[in-house]
Structure 1
Amino acid sequence: MELEFECSNVNKWKEALASYEARVESLNKPNLISLDDYYRKELPSLIHQRNPNPHINTTELSKLVRWKLTRGKWRPRLLDFVSSLDDSSVKSASEKAFKSLPDLTKAVSELTVLKGVGPATASAVLAAYAPGVAPFMSDE
C-alpha cells in the first residue's frame, strides 16, 4: 500500500499502521523482528522505569543502533563507535536530552555529542522515550 505523507485520510493511516508488523516481517532481515520489538516495546518501558531521571545505557544504545542499521543501511563502524562509549557518558547525554524535551533541537544536540550518534540515531532515542513529541527520522 502506497501512502503519501500529505494524505489526510485517517483510515488510510490506521490501515498503514495496522500493516506495520507484517511489513517488517516481509523484509526477511535476520533479527529485525526481535530488534523491532525491543525498540518499540521493551526500550520505552525500560527508560520510563527510571523516572524521575530517565536515561539509556551503552548496551541499550548499541541495541537501538543495531535495530536502526538492520532496518536500513548497514554501517558497522557506527555500531563499533557506539559500543565503545562509556556508560556514564551515555547516561549523562541521554538524561540531558530527555530533560530538554520538547525542545527537539536541544535534545538532539545533547545526544549527538556521543561518537557514532547522528541526528537520525538521536531521533530514534528520543522517539523511544517520547513518541508523541519526538519523531524518528531514519537516514534513508
Structure 2
Amino acid sequence: MFASAQLSVWHATLDAYPRALAALCDSKKGANALRLAELDQWYQETLPGLIIARKPDIDPQGHGAYLTREEVVKITEWKLKRGKFRPRLQSLVESNTDATVQKITSEAFAKFPNVQASLKILSGLKGVGPATASGRRVNLTLGSLVAILAAFSPSIPFMSDEAMEAVPGMGKIAYVEKYYLKYNDNINEKCEELNSNERAGELRTNDAVYMILNGRLICSYRKIKLFTGFVWTPRLLERTLWTYTVCHRFGIEIAEG
C-alpha cells in the first residue's frame, strides 16, 4: 500500500474508513462500540474546529490555541478505545487540573511546528509524558502525547500501531521519540509525493473546440490540467493507512472507484 503512487488506491482506501471503523466498533462490547464511534467523530471532525477558533488571530481575547482538561481526557479515551485500552492511563490523565492543561497545551502549540519542543512541553501533563528511564511507561504515554498534538495540526500524523505497521522500513514498533520522528518524516514525504500527483492529474472537459481545417469543420475536446483541490495531510494519510490495516484484519474489500 505505502509504496503505491496510484491516487485511486489511496482515495479508495480513505473512503473505506467508515466501514473499517464500523467493523472495529462491532468487535467491541456493549456501550464501548457506540462510545468509540462518538469519540472518533468528535476527534476527527469537531475538535480541530474548536482549536482553530481559539487561535490568536480569531480569538478576540488573544489567548491562543489550547485544550481543556475535558478535551484531553476525551482524546485519551479515543486513543485507548481505537487501540489498546489501559484504564490506568485514563485515570492519570484525569488527575490534571483544567488550568494546568490549558497552560501546557497553549505553550506546546505555540512552539509548533517544532515537533520536539511541543512534545517536550506536553510531557508536563500527568499520564502523557515521555517514558521513565526504565521504559515502563513508554508504550502508555507517547501515543497520547502525539494524539494531542495531532488534534492541533493536520500536519502531525497520529501514532497508531496500524499506520506504523503499514510503513515499510520502520522496523519493530518502538514508542520513543526517535522512532516517531522517523515515522513522521516518512508520512510527510509520502504526502508530498501524493500531492504532486494530485496537482499533475489531468481532467478532460466537456468544452468542445471547433476549428476549420482544410475546409472541414473539426470538433475536438480540450484536455486541460486542473488541480482537484484535494490535499493529502499527515492526518489523512494516517487515517488511510489505519484503514488499510484494519480492513485487512477484518476481511473488508477495498474497491477502487
Normalising by the residue count of structure 2, what TM-score does the alignment of the two structures yield? Answer: 0.51
The answer (yes or no) to whether the contact 1:120–1:139 under 8 Å persists in 2 is no
Is 1:122 equivalent to 2:145 in the alignment? yes
1:55 paired residue number: 66
State the Cα deviation string for residues 62-111 of structure 1 (Å, max 9, x = none). 01111000010000011101111011111111111111111111111111
Aligned pair count?
136
State the Cα deviation string for residues 97-140 of structure 1 (Å, max 9, x = none). 11111111111111122111122112111111111x21111256
Is 1:92 equivalent to 2:103 in the alignment? yes
Gaps of 5+ in 1: none
SS in 2 for 1:115: coil
Partner of residue 42 from structure 1, selected from 32, 40, 46: 46
- After TM superposition, the runs of 4+ consecutive aligned structure 1 residues lying more than 6 A away are none
The answer (yes or no) to whether the contact 1:57–1:91 under 8 Å persists in 2 is yes
* Distance across 1 between alignment mates of 2:104 and 2:153: 16
* Distance across 1 between alignment mates of 2:142 and 2:118: 10
SS in 1 for 2:117: helix
* Distance across 2 between alignment mates of 1:108 and 1:57: 17
- Give 1:1-140 correspondences, 5 Å limit: 4-27=1-24, 28=26, 29=28, 30=33, 31-52=35-56, 53-117=64-128, 118-131=141-154, 133-138=155-160
Structure 1 range deviating more: 65-74 or 23-32: 23-32
- One-letter amino acid of the counterpart of residue 23, structure 2: S
* Distance across 2 between alignment mates of 1:104 and 1:136: 13
Gaps of 5+ in 2: 57-63, 129-140, 163-257
* Distance across 2 between alignment mates of 1:15 and 1:121: 28
Higher strand content, 1 or 2: 2
- One-letter amino acid of the counterpart of residue 18, structure 1: D
* Distance across 1 between alignment mates of 2:76 and 2:107: 19
The answer (yes or no) to whether the contact 1:127–1:136 under 8 Å persists in 2 is yes
SS in 2 for 1:113: coil
Could you tell me the percent identity over the aligned residues? 38
* Distance across 2 between alignment mates of 1:39 and 1:98: 17
SS in 2 for 1:46: helix
Higher helix content, 1 or 2: 1
- One-letter amino acid of the counterpart of residue 122, structure 1: L
Normalising by the residue count of structure 1, what TM-score does the alignment of the two structures yield? Answer: 0.90
SS in 1 for 2:55: coil
